[in-house]
């Protein structure tokens, strides 16, 4: 059996739809369910329905053979696994943003609010800018509005949250989309099960293009 960790939240519907198109159906699945484990019709695939931020951990630790999760959480995890496929949904951007009237200073110490401290620190370290990072778990756009931080590092999809809070993008760090990741040992040991699974998904992606 293959175990796949699937991220709850914004991309869950698209992930389930992609698996369905690849012939893997979880009959009793619905997003509001409080169940955490689902089996496909053939009982060949077990799905762990978990918080997006935890998907890389399940895959790195081998609790799941595969994972479907955003590149944002992959980068933030610094995890060791294979990133096999770009699934081309959940597309957004990781950006530095802040108040229009308070442009990004690159010469002095900055305070950054983010759900992604690892990504933020790497970005500013590469630019040789000293920062203090304040880790938040949501509504990050609030931080510059109330003087908690100078800028934020966050994902932008439609741009609506930034717009409605009077914030602008100062720089784009990385393009984000949903990826298929694979545990390194599983990739070797479960090759016979894994290969047809991955090929089915590849075929769906090719048809979509």
Interface ranges with ligand PRP (CB under 6 A): 138-141, 154-161
- The kind and range of the H/E element at 174 are strand 167-176
Distance CA 24, CA 68 (A): 14
Q: Which is nearer to ligand PRP, 59 or 140 (CB)?
A: 140
Cα 104 to Cα 109, 124, 151, 169: the distances in Å are 11, 12, 7, 10
In the complex, the smallest distance separating the C-beta of residue 64 from ligand PRP, rounded to whole angstroms, is: 22
Q: State the minimum distance, in angstroms, from the CB of residue 155 to ligand PRP.
A: 5
Nearest residue by C-beta to ligand PRP?
138
Nearest residue (CB) to ligand PRP, 66 versus 140: 140
If you search the block for the tokens 């609790």, which residue do you land on?
63
Whether 165 and 143 have beta carbons less than 8 Å apart is answered as: no
Closer to ligand PRP by Cβ: residue 106 or 139: 139
Yes or no: say if 7 and 52 are a contact pair by the CB < 8 Å rule.
yes
Task: Output Rg (C-alpha) for the chain, integer angstroms.
Answer: 19
Q: What DSSP string describes 9-50?
A: STTHHHHHHHHHHTT---TT--TT----EEE-TTS-EEEEEE
Give the H/E segment covering residue 59: helix 55-61
Q: How far is the CB of 157 from ligand PRP (least distance, A)?
A: 3
Q: Can you name the residues that pair with 93 across neighbouring β-strands?
A: 156, 175
Smallest gap from residue 160 Cβ to ligand PRP (A): 4
**What is the closest distance, in whole angstroms, from the C-beta atom of residue 99 to ligand PRP in the complex?**
16
CB of 93 to ligand PRP, least distance (A): 9
Q: Would you say 23 and 45 are in contact if contact means Cβ atoms under 8 Å apart?
A: no
Q: Between 120 and 156, whose beta carbon lies closer to ligand PRP?
A: 156
If the CB atoms of residues 22 and 70 are measured against ligand PRP, the closer one turns out to be 70
- Between 63 and 134, CB nearer to ligand PRP: 134
């Amino acid at each position: 059996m293959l175990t796949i960790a699937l991220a709850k939240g914004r991309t869950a519907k698209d992930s389930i739809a992609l698996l369905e198109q690849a012939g893997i159906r979880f009959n009793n699945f619905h997003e509001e369910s409080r169940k955490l484990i689902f089996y496909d019709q053939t009982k060949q695939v077990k799905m762990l329905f978990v918080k997006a931020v935890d998907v890389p951990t399940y895959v790195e630790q081998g609790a799941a053979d595969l994972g479907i999760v955003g590149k944002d959480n992959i980068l933030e995890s610094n995890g060791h696994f294979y990133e096999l496929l770009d699934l081309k949904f959940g597309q957004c951007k990781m950006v530095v943003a802040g108040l229009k009237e308070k442009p990004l200073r690159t010469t002095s110490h900055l305070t950054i609010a983010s759900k992604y401290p690892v990504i933020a620190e790497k970005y500013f370290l590469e630019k040789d800018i000293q920062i203090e990072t304040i880790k938040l778990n949501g509504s990050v756009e609030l931080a510059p509005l109330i003087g908690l931080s100078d800028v934020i590092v966050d994902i932008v999809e439609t741009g609506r949250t930034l717009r409605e809070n009077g914030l602008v993008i100062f720089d784009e760090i990385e393009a984000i989309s949903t990826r298929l990741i694979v545990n390194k040992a599983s990739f070797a040991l479960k090759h016979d099960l894994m290969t047809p699974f991955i090929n089915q998904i590849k075929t769906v992606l090719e048809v979509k293009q």
